[in-house]
Structure 1
Amino acid sequence: MVILTSVLATGALTLTACGSRDDSGDKKNSGSSTTFTIGVDAPLSGENSTTGLGIQYGVQVAVDDANKNNWVPGVKFKVEALDDKAQPANGQQNATKLVGDKTVVGTVGPLNSGVAQSMQQVFASADMVEISPSNTNPELTQGKNWQTDKKRPYKTYFRTATTDELQGSFAADYAANNLKKKKAFVVDDKQTYGAGLAKIFGEQFKKLGGKVVQTDHVNTGDKDFGSLVTKIKNSGADLLYYGGQYDESALITKQLKDAGVKIPLFGGDGMFATTYIDVAGKAAAGDLVTSVGVPVDTLPAAKQFVETYKAKGYKGDYGAYGGYSYDAATAIIKAVKAVKDANGGKLPSDINDLRSKVVEEVQKSDFQGITGKVSFDQYGDTGNKQLTVYQVENGEWKAVHSGTANLG
């Protein structure tokens, strides 16, 4: 367990405009620069770490680009990445640590919606921006009654990923109209993300004329899904929809196919990782996922990002959220520049004042990122509503359909 303290930035740093002074910095700015930190919270070990590391290094590439190209004259950035192990309690502790570090101007993360719920209040209390590249649960931006009465809970929280309302509906539409599936067995992992996504898929699938023949739940960390496989086998389902992460779903599809049940497993972006295919092996063939946006490898603006990520030998999978992490970090960096420009070329001397103004500037974001246009609506949700269905073909995720969800 990581020991967390409320100590400010470690080391004997001379603070200049709330950041650490680096006398070896930009020579164009009187031979010195101010260093600010962009926090990252994600699972960097254990479950979901393949995806979590993709978030960490997506941010790192953005920070390196900002420093190399002098995006904010007189300011350098560094990354402080903390491991939440996909656990809400860890996320909350990490948020407290980041808020306590007076060089931190904003945070990218977390990966998991359930972890985000434990962090939002901490960042809101400090009036510090938090941008998730991957959280998709609608409640995080639109409140608990989002289906009937949308209200934004925290003005400091944003995301560059679109919501499960769109993702679940997009998957249901593809299952019913493209795959021509009639009977779905719906399973979730009881977590905020998984349960929410599975519920939305089921509701939309029924609206489109499909039948949810049965629902069930599993626990994260489970390895033996024999009883679940038997239920699916006896249900007559022609599709298994799973709300959750790749750790459990890879084992479920393997055990399902080993039992002779040759139906595809369809899931959300929590499954979209190379690890799913590595673990499931040949059993993954034909399985499907939805993920946010369009394939980053196909985006001209992301070409340099992908090349840099690979050249650096960074761990993790950039394919799911690396690009969205890059854009989230870029939004924070651009906000710092906007605050500086609006203040006569100087940064506020008070970190709390700077953080508050960065939140305001992030809300105004309007730029072309590597994943597309980066902007946020009145709830903090991304303006980029595109989604893609991927299917396992020849041992790789292949994009088979891109578009936007029809909620009609």
Structure 2
Amino acid sequence: MRHRSLLILTAALTTGALTLTACGSRDDSNSNSGDGGGNQTVVIGLDAPLTGDLSALGLGIKNSADLAVKTANKNKTVPGVTFEIQALDDQAQPSSGQQNATKFVANKKVLGTVGPLNSSVGESMQKVLADAKLVQVSPANTSPSLTQGQDWNGGTKARPFASYFRTSTTDAVQGPFAAQYLFNDAKKKNVYVIDDKKTYGAGLAATFKAEFEKLGGKVAGTAHIDPETKDFSSVATRVKSSGADVVYYGGEYPAAGPLSKQIKKAGAKIPLVGGDGIYSGEYIKLSGKEGVGDLATSVGAPIETLPSAKEFVANYEKGGYKEPFEAYGGYSYDATWAIIEAVKAVVEANDGKLPSDARAKVAEAVGSVDFDGVTGKVSFDEFGDTTNKQLTVYEYKDGDWAAVKSGELTS
């Protein structure tokens, strides 16, 4: 893939502090127009796993984007424009994500897309959306290659698609952050590394392993699993025999929960540690009592502790959403708001109307957004990555995830 330079919007970008207000009740349809009353309709495409094993995270993403759209419509954030959400289910499958990207492109009212959850799905969507100059802002993709190219770890960083952005930090930061915590704070020196061979899981495990070894830790063994089987008895036995004092897993909660349970039942009473893919209430259910003491890293600071997120949390509850906003709710709200702010800048630069080349203009404008969001300062660097690099370590105890340490990766 060739490098595409980031275009800079010549018009001044008008932003400001993000203001949240109470929202109306939830609309379960795919199009949620709220009560904006504008005479121009802008659709924001939403791609996430809305059914299947990862639907808990996907529905949190969808609901939070819906809340952002309803807030913008209620406040008339962009005068003369009403926003709608077109939500499509990718079932965490790259092929479905690519098909959904094609559907978004075909809908001429779609001027931006939010999602997906999975890095492999995001990878399948990038070119389709980029060819149509349709901006994509993911609240959850963490694979570094999506913004910095396949050789990002080999000394050559090249942005593949100028239309792709994300509000979550990458595994180039998350994996090493976990390694530093385990080695320096938890005093773990001997790790067994397992991944699910997917884009997200394998990449996360690789960055963790490299940093752990750099710090002086030992790798007792490595393994790849098929997350669809749910029978991990053989690898659990190998973990027990290895003498490892911790397991690091690159993957998501549907496999991580049963894996943790089976490792403990095999006799290895050691914690399983993973990334944001296991940071969900569903992991608590799947790992059961055996999972107590397990750890997860996730992007950002605990949202409940952020002053900037208080109104979001309150308004999400008032909105009547059936599902929790989960790990990526605040990042999904901010991803959606970045598109809303970009549309605002483009409309203001064109005498209050959408230009004929609105898609390209909005994609350019997203790169220049700078506002105070739910998760803190929202802006993007030259690769389309968030400038917010904060991460948090959580521990499963007392039936829930509890924050243990927040901070940024130290070099």
Quote the Cα distance in structure 2 between the aligned partners of 1:56 and 1:217. Answer: 31
Q: State which of 381, 386, 389 in structure 1 corresponds to 2:390.
A: 386
Quote the Cα distance in structure 2 between the aligned partners of 1:296 and 1:319. Answer: 10
The DSSP-based 3-state class of the residue aligned with 1:111 is: coil
Alignment of 1:363 onto 2:367: yes
| Contact in 1 for aligned 2:67/2:319 (Cα 8 Å) | no
Quote the Cα distance in structure 1 between the aligned partners of 2:322 and 2:228. Answer: 23
Structure 1 residues 308-323: aligned runs within 5 Å: 308-323=315-330
Q: State which of 31, 35, 41 in structure 2 corresponds to 1:35.
A: 41
What residue is the counterpart of 2:11 in the other structure? none
| Contact in 2 for aligned 1:273/1:317 (Cα 8 Å) | no
What residue is the counterpart of 1:179 in the other structure? 186
Query: RMSD of the TM alignment (CA)?
Result: 1.3
What residue is the counterpart of 1:231 in the other structure? 238
Alignment of 1:399 onto 2:403: yes
| Contact in 1 for aligned 2:369/2:379 (Cα 8 Å) | yes
Deviations, residues 161-190 of structure 1 (Å, cap 9, x unaligned): 001010000000000001100100000000
What residue is the counterpart of 2:314 in the other structure? 307
What residue is the counterpart of 2:226 in the other structure? 219
Q: Given residue 75 of structure 2, which amino acid in structure 1 is its aligned partner? A: N
Quote the Cα distance in structure 1 between the aligned partners of 2:330 and 2:324. Answer: 11
Q: Given residue 403 of structure 1, which amino acid in structure 2 is its aligned partner? A: G
Quote the Cα distance in structure 1 between the aligned partners of 2:55 and 2:343. Answer: 29
What residue is the counterpart of 1:55 in the other structure? 61
TM-score by length of 1: 0.91
The DSSP-based 3-state class of the residue aligned with 1:131 is: strand
Quote the Cα distance in structure 2 between the aligned partners of 1:295 and 1:78. Answer: 29
Deviations, residues 336-358 of structure 1 (Å, cap 9, x unaligned): 0100111122221x2xx101000
Quote the Cα distance in structure 2 between the aligned partners of 1:316 and 1:95. Answer: 25
TM-superposed deviation, 1:303? 1.2
| Contact in 1 for aligned 2:36/2:72 (Cα 8 Å) | no
Quote the Cα distance in structure 1 between the aligned partners of 2:231 and 2:310. Answer: 41
Structure 2 residues without counterparts, runs of 5 or longer: 1-30
* Greater mean deviation of Cα atoms: 219-228 or 377-386: 219-228
Quote the Cα distance in structure 1 between the aligned partners of 2:97 and 2:227. Answer: 17
TM-score by length of 2: 0.90
Structure 1 residues 85-96: aligned runs within 5 Å: 85-96=91-102
What residue is the counterpart of 1:15 in the other structure? none
The DSSP-based 3-state class of the residue aligned with 1:185 is: strand
The DSSP-based 3-state class of the residue aligned with 1:110 is: coil
Alignment of 1:72 onto 2:72: no
Structure 1 residues 255-270: aligned runs within 5 Å: 255-270=262-277
Alignment of 1:119 onto 2:125: yes
What residue is the counterpart of 1:279 in the other structure? 286
TM-superposed deviation, 1:360? 0.9
TM-superposed deviation, 1:223? 1.1
Quote the Cα distance in structure 2 between the aligned partners of 1:96 and 1:305. Answer: 31
Quote the Cα distance in structure 1 between the aligned partners of 2:227 and 2:133. Answer: 33
| Contact in 2 for aligned 1:52/1:316 (Cα 8 Å) | no
Alignment of 1:106 onto 2:112: yes
TM-superposed deviation, 1:25? 5.9
The DSSP-based 3-state class of the residue aligned with 1:270 is: coil
| Contact in 2 for aligned 1:51/1:316 (Cα 8 Å) | no
Q: What percent identity do the matched residue pairs reach? A: 57
Structure 1 residues without counterparts, runs of 5 or longer: 1-19, 27-31
Quote the Cα distance in structure 2 between the aligned partners of 1:300 and 1:51. Answer: 23
Quote the Cα distance in structure 2 between the aligned partners of 1:149 and 1:95. Answer: 28
Alignment of 1:293 onto 2:300: yes
| Contact in 1 for aligned 2:130/2:161 (Cα 8 Å) | yes
What residue is the counterpart of 1:14 in the other structure? none
Q: Given residue 262 of structure 1, which amino acid in structure 2 is its aligned partner? A: K
| Contact in 1 for aligned 2:36/2:76 (Cα 8 Å) | no
The DSSP-based 3-state class of the residue aligned with 1:289 is: strand
What residue is the counterpart of 1:9 in the other structure? none
Quote the Cα distance in structure 2 between the aligned partners of 1:250 and 1:315. Answer: 23
| Contact in 1 for aligned 2:301/2:392 (Cα 8 Å) | yes
TM-superposed deviation, 1:118? 0.5
Deviations, residues 278-334 of structure 1 (Å, cap 9, x unaligned): 111111111001100001111112112112222333244423100000000000001
Quote the Cα distance in structure 2 between the aligned partners of 1:52 and 1:25. Answer: 26
Q: Given residue 354 of structure 1, which amino acid in structure 2 is its aligned partner? A: A
What residue is the counterpart of 2:165 in the other structure? 158
Quote the Cα distance in structure 1 between the aligned partners of 2:300 and 2:51. Answer: 26
The DSSP-based 3-state class of the residue aligned with 1:140 is: helix
The DSSP-based 3-state class of the residue aligned with 1:319 is: coil
| Contact in 1 for aligned 2:36/2:83 (Cα 8 Å) | no
- Equivalent pairs counted in the alignment come to 378
Q: State which of 361, 376, 381 in structure 2 corresponds to 1:377.
A: 381
| Contact in 2 for aligned 1:25/1:33 (Cα 8 Å) | no
TM-superposed deviation, 1:33? 1.6
Quote the Cα distance in structure 1 between the aligned partners of 2:61 and 2:284. Answer: 20
Quote the Cα distance in structure 1 between the aligned partners of 2:229 and 2:320. Answer: 32
Q: Given residue 96 of structure 1, which amino acid in structure 2 is its aligned partner? A: T
Q: Given residue 99 of structure 1, which amino acid in structure 2 is its aligned partner? A: V
| Contact in 1 for aligned 2:292/2:397 (Cα 8 Å) | yes
What residue is the counterpart of 2:140 in the other structure? 134
Change (3 A) 1:270 1:316: farther
| Contact in 2 for aligned 1:264/1:286 (Cα 8 Å) | yes
The DSSP-based 3-state class of the residue aligned with 2:159 is: coil
The DSSP-based 3-state class of the residue aligned with 1:320 is: coil
| Contact in 2 for aligned 1:244/1:270 (Cα 8 Å) | yes
* Greater mean deviation of Cα atoms: 78-87 or 314-323: 314-323
